[in-house]
Amino acid sequence: MAQPSGTAAAQPSSSTPARLRSAFAATEIDVRLFGMLVALVVILLGFHVLSGGKLISPANMITLAVQASGTAIMATGMVLIIVSRNIDLSVGSQVGVIAMAYAVLMTDFLPDVIGFPAVGSPLMWIVALGLGLGVGIMIGGLQGFIIAYIGVPSFVVTLGGLLAFRGVVWVLSEGAAVTGIDSTFRAFGGGANGSLGGDLTWALAIIGCLAIVALLIYNRRQRRNYGFQLRPLWAEVLIGAVACGVVLLLAYGANQEYLPRGLAARRAEELGIVVPEDELGTRFPMGVSWPIILLIGVTIVMTFVATRRRFGRYVYAYGGNPEAADLAGINTRWTIMKTFMLMGALCAIAAAIVVGRLNGAAQDLGTTQELLVIAAAVVGGTSFAGGIGTIPGAVLGAFVMQSLAYGLAFMGVPSPVQSIVAGIVLVVAVGLDSWNRRRGGGRRRAGT
Partner 1 sequence: MVSLKRAMALASAAAVVSTGLVTTSMAVAQDDGACNVGVSWNNFEQPRWAAKDKPNMQATIEAGGGTYTDFDARLDSAQQQTDVETLINGGADVLVLLAQNQDAAIAALETAQNAGVPVIAYDRLIEDPNVLYITFDNVGVGKAEAEAILEAVPSGNYVLIKGDPGDANASTFLPMGWDQAGLQDKIDAGEITIVGDQFTDGWKTETAQNNMEAIIDSANADGVSIDAILAENDSTALGVVAALQAKGLDPVPLSGQDGDTANLQNVAAGWQYVDVWKNANELGKVAGAAALQLCEGVAMEDLVIPDGLIGDAVMPLDGAGATPFETPGGNSVTSFILQPQPITQDNLNLIVESNWLTLDELCAQAADGPSPAAICTDGASMDEASMAPEESAEASE
C-beta atoms surrounding 10 within 10 Å: 15
Given a contact cutoff of 8 angstroms between Cβ atoms, the answer to whether 181 and 101 are in contact is: no
Nearer to partner 1, 125 or 406 (CB): 406
Give the distance, in angstroms, between the CA of residue 176 and the centroid of all CA atoms in the same chain: 29
Q: How far is the CB of 103 from partner 1 (least distance, A)?
A: 10
Asked if 98 touches partner 1 (CB under 8 A), the answer is no
| Cα gap 136→348, rounded to integer Å | 6
Asked if 339 touches partner 1 (CB under 8 A), the answer is no
Output the CA–CA distances (angstroms, integers) from residue 8 to 108, 222, 307, in the order listed: 61, 16, 22
Residue in 14, 174, 227, 270 binding partner 1, rule: CB under 8 A = 174
Q: E strand or H helix at 360, and its extent?
A: strand 360-361
Q: How many residues does this entry show for the chain?
A: 448
Residue in 178, 247, 317, 394 binding partner 1, rule: CB under 8 A = 178
Asked if 256 touches partner 1 (CB under 8 A), the answer is no
Which residues in the 391-420 window bind partner 1 by CB under 8 A? 405-406, 409-412, 414-416, 419
Interface stretch with partner 1, choices 178-186, 214-222, 231-239, 242-250 (CB under 8 A): 178-186
Nearer to partner 1, 203 or 371 (CB): 371
| Cα gap 166→172, rounded to integer Å | 10
End-to-end CA distance of the chain: 25
Given a contact cutoff of 8 angstroms between Cβ atoms, the answer to whether 147 and 347 are in contact is: no
Query: 204-218: buried (b, 16+ CB within 10 Å) or exposed (e) per residue?
Result: bbeebbeebbeebee
Interface stretch with partner 1, choices 22-30, 78-86, 312-320, 355-363 (CB under 8 A): 355-363
Residue in 6, 130, 180, 441 binding partner 1, rule: CB under 8 A = 180
Which residues in the 294-333 window bind partner 1 by CB under 8 A? none
Residue in 177, 200, 300, 371 binding partner 1, rule: CB under 8 A = 177
| Cα gap 261→87, rounded to integer Å | 47
Supply the DSSP symbol for 257: S
Nearer to partner 1, 98 or 147 (CB): 98
Written as one letter, the residue type at 248 is L
Nearer to partner 1, 6 or 260 (CB): 260
Asked if 51 touches partner 1 (CB under 8 A), the answer is yes
Report the number of secondary-structure helices (H) and strands (E) in the chain.
Answer: 16, 2
Residue in 259, 330, 343, 345 binding partner 1, rule: CB under 8 A = 259
Asked if 423 touches partner 1 (CB under 8 A), the answer is no
Count interface residues toward partner 1 (CB under 8 A). 47
Given a contact cutoff of 8 angstroms between Cβ atoms, the answer to whether 296 and 391 are in contact is: no
Interface stretch with partner 1, choices 185-193, 231-239, 299-307, 333-341 (CB under 8 A): 185-193
Which residues in the 207-236 window bind partner 1 by CB under 8 A? none
Asked if 255 touches partner 1 (CB under 8 A), the answer is no
Q: E strand or H helix at 385, and its extent?
A: none
Supply the DSSP symbol for 289: B
Residues that bind partner 1 (CB under 8 A): 51, 54-55, 57, 59-60, 63, 66-67, 166, 170, 174-180, 189-192, 259-260, 262-263, 354, 357-360, 362-367, 405-406, 409-412, 414-416, 419
